[in-house]
Structure 1
Amino acid sequence: MIEIQHPREMTRLRRLALAAQGLLQVQPYGRGLAGARNAINHIGYVQLDTISVVQRAHHHVLYSRVPNFTPSMTNTMLRDGDIFEYWAHAAAFLPISDFRYTLPYKHAIKSGQTHWYRHIDRRLMDELLARIRSDGPVRSRDVGGDTAKRALWWDWKPAKKALEQLYMQGDLMVSDREGFQKTYDLTERVLPAHVDATMPSIDAFAEHLLDRQLRCHGLVSLKGITYLRRNPDLRKAVKALVKERVSQKTLQEIRLANGEIFVLEAGALERSLPPLKNRLRILSPFDNSVIQRDRLKSVFDYDYQIECYVPADRRQYGYFCLPLLYRDRLIGRMDCKAHRTRRHLEITSLYLEEHCIVDDRLLAAFSDAVARFCHFQGCDCVSITSVYPEKMGQPFRRALKLSRG
């Protein structure tokens, strides 16, 4: 067990984690559509989310890693069979090569495990499945909305439940999307023929998860490997596999000052890492690098909680604060909203961490990142309302003004 105590050692761990996520390099996966394909194959998933005060999470995560990425590329990958939609720890796009590792959960749901609905109408499911088989794909809007304006097959609530159950248990897949309107079709018509669709053993599943997490995070905890997966057998298999690899010395354990234990590949601490650059990245609250909040606190000393689900009068930072990564530290958070009809990005509040040192390099990196982010939102101008601490307001406003000038 290696004890990590010195600040320089923590700096190296942060760099290791960020490099594994592709957040230190300029274009670690390439550019455009090819880069987006490479990115999701490496990081393992991008989480879907409905909140649209800024670009949606699944677009934002790829934008943070892939130059020249545009939101239309996710649907292109979906239609081309490069990715598919299912449940990871949440609704997500996943690499098509990972399809077989969703089969255990689908089988569990088909066998009676509850995901969304405890009571399901199997007769209605059979009817819906037969209709899709004979008449073709169905859009989610066809089983929802205003029944007075549509010629519907069934009442909305039971039909919607049946559709989602068929999707979650694997009979249907999402073949296309228009925003958050999904099109469902039979799995055998959507899944590319070359994809491995054999059920993995529990040991193969554990090996896949461990290897994936090590590759995309650099260092992992037992809890993080099976993050939000309710499968005791899988957790047990992962724990046994980690113990075996530690004993074989292909993995090594480290303990942080707070007592948290992580594992990483043997020799990873001596590995060459990308140099740090004066670059600031505006991250999604659902970014793969920040979604495990306990890990974020342990490795980055960054206490973060999304507050869109918190009543307005109890929010500390704002509705949808975006973490700000500068070099290898998370130095603040920014609550903002894209007013798309006015093409205006409003930064309602900017909060800086206590350790953040504001200098010309940071201000230049901030203005450059905001300018790029503004363009990504389809906006032409940006304003900033509040900065904390307040004495930093003038430098940041001046930086934004200079970037526009």
Structure 2
Amino acid sequence: MIEVRRPKDLARLRRLALSAQGLLQRQPFGSGLAGARRAISHMGYVQIDTISVVERAHHHVLHSRVPGFEPAMVDRMLRNRDIFEYWSHAAAFLPIDDFRFSLPYKQAIKSGQTHWYRSPDRKLMAELLARIRFDGPLRSRDLETGTSKQAGWWDWKPAKKALEQLYMEGDLMVSDRDGFQKTYDLTERVLPAHVNTELPSIEEFAEHLIDQQLRCHGLVSLKGLTYLRRNTALRKAVKAQVSDRLAEGALEQAQVNGGDVFLMEAGAFESPLPRLNNRVKILSPFDNTVIQRDRLKALFQYDYQIECYVPEAKRQYGYFCLPLLYRDEFIGRMDCKAHRKIRLLEIKSLHLEPHSHDQDAVISALVDAVGQFRQFQNCDSVTLTQVYPKQLTQAVCSALEALG
């Protein structure tokens, strides 16, 4: 067991985690479409979210890691069958090569486990499936109109539930997207012939999760290996394999300040790592690095909560505050909104937390990051309303003026 108590040892764990997530190197996965493809393959998933006050989460996560990334590339990867859409710990885009590991959950849903809806309408599901089989792919908007004579035999809400149930059970896949309008087709017509469709054993699934999590996170807690997965047998299999790997010396453990214990591959703690850089990364609240809040707090001492689900009167930082990463430290959060019609990025509030870095260097790096983020939002100008602590207002506003 590695006891991590000294700041320099904790800093090494942070670098290991950030490097594995592709947040230290300038082009960890390459650039453009190929880089986005490799990024999803490495990370195992990119979470999908509908909130659009700024560019959506699945685009934001890739923008943070892939130079030259454009949002249209996600739809292109979906159509090219490089990725598929399904449930990870949440709705996500996943590498097509991992398709077989979506099958246990599909099988569980088909066997009666509830995901969204209890008592699915099997008759309506059969009718929808037959419609798609004979008439071709069905767009989600075809259900929303409810006015087509051809589609007049269904009611919108039950039909939408039935369609989603068929998708969750694996009979249908999302074959294409137009924004958040999905097109569904039969799985056998969507899935490329080369994809492995053999149901994995519980041991194979456990091995896949351990390898994936170590690859994309560098270090992970036992709890984090099965984050938000309710499969008791899978958790037991993961725990057993972790014990075996520890006994074999393939894994080692690190305990942070006498508390949380993290697993990593043997030798990872001493392995060469990329240097820290002086860039600020503006991350999505759903970024793979921050989504496990307990891990985030243990490794980075960063207490983060997305507040869009918190009543407005109880919000501390804003509706959709974005984590700010500088070097190996989260140094604040920024609540903003992209006004797309007038091409304005509004920073409603900027909260900078106490840190050990040169304040001028942090502000300079932050302004550079805001400039790039503004372009990603397709905005031409930036406004800033509030800065905390308030004594930094003049310095930050003056630096932002250089963006025009």
Q: Using structure 1 for the length normalisation, give the TM-score.
A: 0.98
Indicate if the aligned counterparts of 1:285 and 1:291 stay in contact, CA closer than 8 A: yes
> Partner amino acid for 1:111?
S
Indicate if the aligned counterparts of 1:57 and 1:287 stay in contact, CA closer than 8 A: yes
Equivalent in the alignment of 1:6 = 6
Equivalent in the alignment of 2:167 = 167
After superposition, where does 1:172-211 map in structure 2 within 5 Å?
A: 172-211=172-211
Q: 1:241 to 1:154 in 2, by over 3 A?
A: same
Cα distance in 1, alignment partners of residues 101 and 148 from structure 2: 41
Cα distance in 2, alignment partners of residues 298 and 218 from structure 1: 15
- Match of 1:263, SS state, is strand
* 1:146 Cα deviation from its structure 2 partner: 5.6
Equivalent in the alignment of 2:238 = 238
Q: CA offsets, 1:125-146, max 9 Å, x none?
A: 1111011000000011111246
Cα distance in 2, alignment partners of residues 376 and 153 from structure 1: 43
* 1:157 Cα deviation from its structure 2 partner: 1.3
Equivalent in the alignment of 1:310 = 310
Equivalent in the alignment of 2:275 = 275
Cα distance in 2, alignment partners of residues 142 and 152 from structure 1: 10
- Match of 2:262, SS state, is strand
Cα distance in 2, alignment partners of residues 148 and 245 from structure 1: 58
Cα distance in 2, alignment partners of residues 358 and 174 from structure 1: 48
Q: CA offsets, 1:271-308, max 9 Å, x none?
A: 10001111111000000000000000000100000000
Equivalent in the alignment of 1:344 = 344
Q: Does 1:33 align with 2:33?
A: yes
Equivalent in the alignment of 1:70 = 70
Cα distance in 2, alignment partners of residues 59 and 325 from structure 1: 18
Q: Does 1:47 align with 2:38?
A: no
- How many residue pairs were aligned? 404
Q: CA offsets, 1:354-390, max 9 Å, x none?
A: 2254533212211111000000001000011100000
Q: CA offsets, 1:187-229, max 9 Å, x none?
A: 0000011100100000000000000000000000111000000
Cα distance in 2, alignment partners of residues 153 and 352 from structure 1: 56
Indicate if the aligned counterparts of 2:146 and 2:152 stay in contact, CA closer than 8 A: no
Cα distance in 2, alignment partners of residues 244 and 25 from structure 1: 33
Q: CA offsets, 1:327-369, max 9 Å, x none?
A: 1111000000000001000000000112254533212211111
Cα distance in 1, alignment partners of residues 219 and 58 from structure 2: 23
Q: CA offsets, 1:298-329, max 9 Å, x none?
A: 00100000000111111010000000001111
> Partner amino acid for 1:227?
Y
Q: Using structure 2 for the length normalisation, give the TM-score.
A: 0.98
Q: CA offsets, 1:156-215, max 9 Å, x none?
A: 111111100000000000000011110000000000111001000000000000000000
> Partner amino acid for 1:186?
L
> Partner amino acid for 1:57?
A
* Two-structure CA RMSD over aligned residues (Å): 1.2
Equivalent in the alignment of 1:251 = 251
Indicate if the aligned counterparts of 1:173 and 1:190 stay in contact, CA closer than 8 A: yes
Cα distance in 1, alignment partners of residues 261 and 145 from structure 2: 49
> Partner amino acid for 1:22?
G
After superposition, where does 1:322-333 map in structure 2 within 5 Å?
A: 322-333=322-333
- Match of 2:325, SS state, is strand
Indicate if the aligned counterparts of 1:143 and 1:152 stay in contact, CA closer than 8 A: no
Indicate if the aligned counterparts of 1:17 and 1:217 stay in contact, CA closer than 8 A: yes
Q: 1:348 to 1:149 in 2, by over 3 A?
A: farther
Q: CA offsets, 1:80-103, max 9 Å, x none?
A: 000000000000000001100000
- Match of 2:51, SS state, is coil
> Partner amino acid for 1:174?
V
Equivalent in the alignment of 2:213 = 213
Equivalent in the alignment of 1:373 = 373
> Partner amino acid for 1:394?
Q
Q: 1:62 to 1:303 in 2, by over 3 A?
A: same
Cα distance in 2, alignment partners of residues 149 and 282 from structure 1: 48
Cα distance in 2, alignment partners of residues 318 and 243 from structure 1: 42
Equivalent in the alignment of 1:91 = 91
Question: Which stretch of structure 1 is more off in the superposition, 192-201 or 394-403?
Answer: 394-403
Cα distance in 1, alignment partners of residues 146 and 347 from structure 2: 36
Could you list the structure 1 runs, at least 4 aligned residues long, displaced by more than 4 angstroms after superposition. Answer: 145-151
> Partner amino acid for 1:232?
T
Indicate if the aligned counterparts of 1:331 and 1:356 stay in contact, CA closer than 8 A: no
- Match of 1:294, SS state, is helix
Q: Sequence identity, in percent? A: 68
Q: Does 1:321 align with 2:321?
A: yes
Cα distance in 1, alignment partners of residues 70 and 356 from structure 2: 31
- Match of 2:272, SS state, is coil
Indicate if the aligned counterparts of 2:146 and 2:155 stay in contact, CA closer than 8 A: no
Q: Which runs of 5+ in 1 are unaligned?
A: none
Cα distance in 1, alignment partners of residues 357 and 2 from structure 2: 31
Cα distance in 1, alignment partners of residues 152 and 358 from structure 2: 59
Question: Which stretch of structure 1 is more off in the superposition, 350-359 or 394-403?
Answer: 350-359
> Partner amino acid for 2:272?
S
* 1:68 Cα deviation from its structure 2 partner: 0.5
Equivalent in the alignment of 1:15 = 15
* 1:150 Cα deviation from its structure 2 partner: 8.6
* 1:151 Cα deviation from its structure 2 partner: 4.6
Cα distance in 1, alignment partners of residues 167 and 318 from structure 2: 35
